[in-house]
Structures are given as C-alpha cells and as structure tokens.
C-alpha cells in the first residue's frame, strides 16, 4: 500500500504535461465506479449473512434472552419508534452528546492552539497534560456525578473531557508540525503574523483538527452512555441499563441501534464540513 | 581576482563575505571565505561548485535569511539597497501552499501587498500564461506534476516583478526533459523581463546554457576560484546548445577549474 502510494506520487511528479494527465483521468472514471458497486454489493451480502447467522444461532445454539435476534430487535425498534418515552430518552442523550462534544471541541481547540503557539507554555505543560490524559476518564464518572449532579451536567462534563483531550492533542501537535518552509515562504513575501496564521497555520492545523472532531463523536457518546450507566433516570444509557436488568435483550439491542445511528449521523455531519473545508485534499 | 572588477551598474555586490557555522559539538566550520563578486544589472550570473561548498549559504545570506559572520552582500538598484520584498528567491522545493489553487498561490504575494483584487487576478493569470500553465489556474498543487509545480512557484516569485532573482538549484529535483523545458522558459522570461539573476547549480551544461558569466567556487570553505565569461550569443537554443563548438570549449574550461579543485580536495582528505 505504502509502496504503491509512493510510486503513484513519483509517477505524477514525472508527468511531463497535461495530455497524459487527461488520459489517465479518462481511464479512472469507469473503473472505480464498477469497483464501488462491487464493494457495496459485497458489504450488503456480508451484513445479511451476519444477521442471518445471528437469527439462526439465537434460540438454537445460544439462549434467546442472551443475544435476542434480529427480528425481535426490529419489532422492538418499530414499537419504540412511536413511544414518547423513547423520544425523550433520545432527546436527552442527543443533548448530552451535542453539548459534551461542542464544549470539549471548543476547549480542546482553544487550549491546544494557545499551548501550541507559545513554545514556552508547551514545554512546561506538555508532560503534565500527557499525564492527565493517562487517567481513564470514564473512571471519573462517579466523581463528576458528585460535582455536577445527577442531571445532564455530569454526562456533558464527562464526554466534554474525553473530547477535550482528543481535540487538544491533535491541535497541539498540528500547531507543532506546521511546515516551516511554507511559513518561511510567506515571511519572505512580507506576510504579517496574522496573515500567516490565517493563510498558513489555520489551513495546516485544520487537517488534524477535523480528524479529531470526527473521531470525537463516538468518543463523546462513550462518555455520555458511561455516565448514564453510573446514575441517570433518563437517556439511552439509562434505557439500555434498565432493559438489561429486565432481561429485555431486544430492548438493549434496539437502544444500541439507535445509539449507533446517532453516532453515524453526527460523524456524517462533521464529515460534510470536513470535506468542504479540506477540498484541496480530496482526489 | 573579481573584487577589482569595475562595472557601471552593479546589482549585487559581495565584499569579503565569510560565514562560519557553529557545529553542534562546539567546533566551528568555515563555509564561505572571502567571497567577493559583483553581478551587473540585468545579468544572468551563475555560481557552480562541488556540493557542500557553501553555494546555498551564499544565497541564504543574500536573501537575508542568514547573517554573515563577516563581510557583506548588497543587493542594489540605482545605488539603492533593495528591500526584502524586491528580492525573489526560488529554491529546489516548490513550496506551494497545498490548500491554495495554482492561481491563488500566484496571487498570494499580491494579496500580501494589498494589490486590488481585480488586478491580482489579472496579473496572476498573465503570469500563469507566461510560465505555460494556461488552463491550470484552478488546479491544486497535488494535481500538478513536479515540473508544473515548479512553473507555478516561478510565477509566484516573479508576479511582483522582483529586482533581483535568486535561484538555488531550482531544477535539481527534475528529470532531464522537464529541466530543459523549464530552462527554456526561464531564459525566455529573463530575456523579456530583464531582471538580475544569481543562479546556483552544479550542472555545468545548465550553467553555460543560461548564464552571462559563471563563477566557479572551491570546496569548503567556499571561495571564488574564477569567473568565466560565457560568450554565446542570445537568444540561445537551450535544447541544442551542447552541439556548439564554443559550448564544448567552455565546458572543458569550467570542468578543468572544477577538476583541479576536486583533486586538491581529495588530496586534502588524505
């Protein structure tokens, strides 16, 4: 893979003019489309196979109440779709997710930017932040409940903290790896500091920033669900906990499907912004 | 031997330029020693020399990125010292901004100088045409070949029409064919716009094909060994210049100057 990419890049470098570029573009139009279809078909077949296997094993090899089965989960999903209590749970968890992710992202980006911009600060604080990052954040959930109460505050705090470290880390290292030759080029052109920040540093840091923002969505969800597990009377984490305690495995799986759908949607939305902002990287 | 050269209108003057690097182990290393030469206005002046002789250091000092240990280098126009913005510096790497399209890259120096938007676009478009990138304005650097990236970076450097152009092995990383076409482009642009050029290379063919005069440097610490006039009339045919008898004589002359240098360098090592 790496070798292939390497030859590809080198090959591009040697291309003498435009005509060859156009020809290879023409070739590459049909081929990937056919490939894409093949990937899609195989993927659907794989999912169908796994669901079928699950359905087959459930009740035959493994007790049904342990793993439920796809049909029961689908029925359950249909039932809760019109249930106002479930709507409330989704809303609560959604709120916690959005708030936690946003707070953590903003704080992580700001702190990462500042510490990355001021070399002295970075030298002083970097090892300390790495050490704090070593704490398994979910383990702090009980304490956060004490600090921020049983409501959504503690859930937001936990997920914000997880996202904070992720975004901080990427922005901080991103600030450190802004290509110096490009900064020098801009300087040689007589660019001001603010101009360099706007036109060189920001676009360069936005690559790791967006990566962290996207990866932050599932991480934020982990924080929210874990905090709800510890103590909550609403939300999807609470719902799945209650379902498990009542041996309602279909309910648990239904909650997981909803959680996954929320994470996929969130990641997808960030992905749209990412693709738009980083259009220059797209092939 | 070149310090005494008298010229009417100098563009670049170096006087007894020396530079010494601090080594990490605490010792020092002399990179340049007493380098003196004068580049005439609108002259294409090339410096050749063995690798590690301090050619790049010379340009880094000239561009203002490095401060020399002693001596000075002055870039002039009509007896006036040039501002940093009036100097164009092209290195081996194209260093285009990957998040900007070709035209945005070329417009950048104009944007920094607050040139009105409309004029920016016009001038950048003109320069893209001049370097042969018509139709590639909206391509990102990764969509351009190495030679095209080089063309784009040349356009970006020349768009604000610098008085002196410093080029540090600009075509070192390119294949022979791309290199030849770019040499042709650079010569055509230089003939049209007539800036003073200080060009650094270790390619003797390139040096002869492009230059008015070629300075040969010694190995470290770098000194100017000789300056050779290149009396080949312009406009030159870059592609077929090696066929000229005068080319062959010049190449032999330059090579002999370098060769004695390389041999004495070998002897010094032993």
Secondary structure class of A58 (helix, strand, coil)? strand
Chain B interface test: which of A280, A281, A282, A283 (most B C-beta within 10 Å) = A280
Chain B interface test: which of A17, A185, A206 (most B C-beta within 10 Å) = A185
| pLDDT value at residue A278 | 92
| pLDDT value at residue A107 | 97
Flag whether residue B113 sits within 8 Å of chain A, measured between CB atoms: yes
The whole-angstrom distance between B257's CA and the closest CA on chain A is: 33
β-sheet bridge partners, residue B19: B32
A-chain residues near B112 (CB < 8 A): 186, 189-192, 195
Q: pLDDT tens for residues A147-171?
A: 998 899 999 999 999 999 999 999 9
Burial of A206 (0-12, 13-18, 19+ CB in 10 A): middle
Q: Do A14 and B175 touch (CB under 8 A)?
A: yes
In the predicted structure, residue A273 carries a pLDDT above the cut 80? yes
The whole-angstrom distance between B89's CA and the closest CA on chain A is: 8
Rounded to two decimals, the pTM is 0.79
Flag whether residue B176 sits within 8 Å of chain A, measured between CB atoms: no
Burial of B135 (0-12, 13-18, 19+ CB in 10 A): exposed
Query: Which residues are within 8 A (CB) of B158 and not within 5 positions of it... i.e. 6 or more apart?
Result: B88, B127, B130, B165, B189, B193
CA distances (Å), origin B93, targets A185, B173, B203: 11, 8, 17
β-sheet bridge partners, residue A18: none
- Residue-wise burial string across B205-228, b where 16 or more C-beta atoms lie within 10 A, e elsewhere: bbbbbbbbbbbbbbbbbbbbbbbb
Q: Answer yes or no: are the C-beta atoms of A254 and A73 closer than 8 Å.
A: yes
Q: Answer yes or no: are the C-beta atoms of B128 and B149 closer than 8 Å.
A: no
**Where does chain B hold its CATH 3.40.50.300 domain(s)?**
10-82+163-269
Q: Answer yes or no: are the C-beta atoms of B190 and B177 closer than 8 Å.
A: no
ipTM of the complex in this document:
0.79
Residues in chain B: 270
Residue pLDDT tens, chain B, 270 long: 444 455 567 777 777 778 888 888 888 888 888 888 888 888 999 999 887 778 888 888 888 778 888 888 888 777 777 877 788 888 888 899 999 999 999 999 999 988 999 999 999 999 999 888 999 999 999 999 988 999 999 999 999 888 889 999 998 888 888 899 999 999 998 988 888 899 999 899 999 999 999 999 888 788 888 898 988 888 888 888 888 889 999 999 999 888 876 666 655 554
Q: Do A188 and B89 touch (CB under 8 A)?
A: yes
Q: Answer yes or no: are the C-beta atoms of B164 and B196 closer than 8 Å.
A: yes
Cis before B226 (ω within 30) = no
Domain at B10-82+163-269, CATH from 1.10.1060.10, 3.40.50.300, 1.10.10.10, 3.30.43.10 = 3.40.50.300
Q: Do B145 and A186 touch (CB under 8 A)?
A: no
B-chain residues near A276 (CB < 8 A): none
Average of per-residue pLDDT values in chain A: 87
Q: pLDDT tens for residues A27-73?
A: 455 678 889 999 999 999 999 999 999 999 999 999 988 899 999 99
Flag whether residue B84 sits within 8 Å of chain A, measured between CB atoms: yes
Q: Do A280 and B98 touch (CB under 8 A)?
A: yes
Minimum-distance CB partner of B147 among A16, A189, A190:
A16
CA distances (Å), origin B114, targets A200, A261, B107, B123, B160: 17, 49, 10, 13, 12
Burial of B231 (0-12, 13-18, 19+ CB in 10 A): exposed
């Amino acid at each position: 893979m790496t070798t292939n990419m390497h030859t590809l890049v080198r090959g591009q470098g040697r291309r003498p003019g435009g005509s060859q570029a156009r020809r290879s573009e023409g070739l590459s139009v049909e081929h990937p489309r056919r490939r894409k279809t093949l990937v899609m078909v195989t993927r659907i077949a794989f999912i169908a196979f796994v669901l079928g296997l699950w359905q087959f094993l459930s009740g035959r090899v493994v007790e049904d109440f342990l793993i439920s089965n796809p049909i029961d989960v689908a029925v359950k999903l249909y039932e809760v779709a019109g249930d106002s209590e479930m709507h409330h749970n989704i809303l609560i968890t959604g709120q916690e997710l959005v708030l936690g992710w946003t707070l953590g992202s903003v704080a992580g980006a700001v702190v990462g930017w500042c510490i990355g911009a001021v070399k002295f600060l970075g030298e002083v604080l970097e090892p300390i932040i790495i050490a704090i990052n070593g704490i398994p954040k979910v383990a702090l959930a009980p304490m956060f409940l004490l600090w921020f109460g049983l409501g959504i505050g503690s859930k937001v705090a936990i997920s914000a903290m997880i996202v904070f470290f992720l975004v901080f880390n990427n922005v901080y290292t991103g600030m450190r790896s802004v290509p110096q030759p490009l900064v020098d080029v801009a300087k040689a052109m007589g660019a001001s500091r603010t101009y360099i920040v706007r036109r060189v540093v920001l676009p360069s840091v936005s690559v790791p920033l967006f990566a962290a923002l996207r990866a932050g969505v599932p991480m934020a969800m982990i924080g929210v669900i874990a905090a709800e597990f510890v103590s909550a009377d609403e939300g999807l984490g609470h719902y799945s906990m209650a379902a498990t305690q009542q041996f309602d495995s279909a309910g648990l799986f239904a909650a997981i499907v909803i959680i996954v759908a929320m994470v996929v949607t969130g990641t997808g939305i960030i992905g749209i912004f990412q693709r738009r902002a980083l259009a220059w990287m797209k092939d | 031997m070149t310090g005494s050269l008298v010229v009417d209108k100098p563009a670049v003057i170096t006087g007894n330029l020396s530079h010494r690097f601090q080594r990490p182990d605490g010792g020092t290393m002399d990179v340049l020693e007493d380098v003196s030469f004068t580049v005439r206005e609108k002259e294409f002046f090339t410096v050749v020399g063995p690798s590690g002789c301090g050619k790049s250091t010379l340009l880094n000092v000239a561009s203002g990125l490095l401060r020399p240990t002693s001596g000075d280098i002055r870039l002039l126009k009509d007896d006036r010292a040039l501002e940093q913005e009036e100097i164009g510096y092209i290195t081996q790497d194209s260093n285009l901004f990957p998040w900007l399209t070709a035209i945005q890259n070329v417009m950048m120096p104009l944007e920094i100088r607050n040139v009105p938007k409309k004029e920016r676009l016009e001038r950048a478009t003109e320069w893209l045409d001049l370097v042969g990138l018509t139709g590639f304005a909206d391509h990102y650097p990764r969509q351009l070949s190495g030679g095209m990236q080089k063309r784009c970076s040349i356009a970006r450097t020349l768009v604000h029409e610098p008085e002196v152009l410093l080029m540090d092995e600009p075509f070192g990383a390119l294949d022979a064919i791309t290199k030849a076409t770019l040499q042709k482009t650079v010569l055509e642009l230089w003939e049209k716009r007539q800036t003073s050029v200080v060009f650094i290379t270790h390619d003797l063919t390139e040096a002869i094909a492009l230059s008015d005069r070629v300075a040969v440097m010694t190995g470290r610490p770098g000194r100017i060994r000789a300056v050779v006039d290149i009396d080949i009339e312009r406009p030159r045919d870059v592609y077929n210049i090696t066929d000229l008898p005068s080319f062959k004589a010049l190449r032999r002359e330059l090579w002999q100057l370098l060769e004695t240098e390389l041999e004495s360098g070998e002897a010094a090592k032993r």
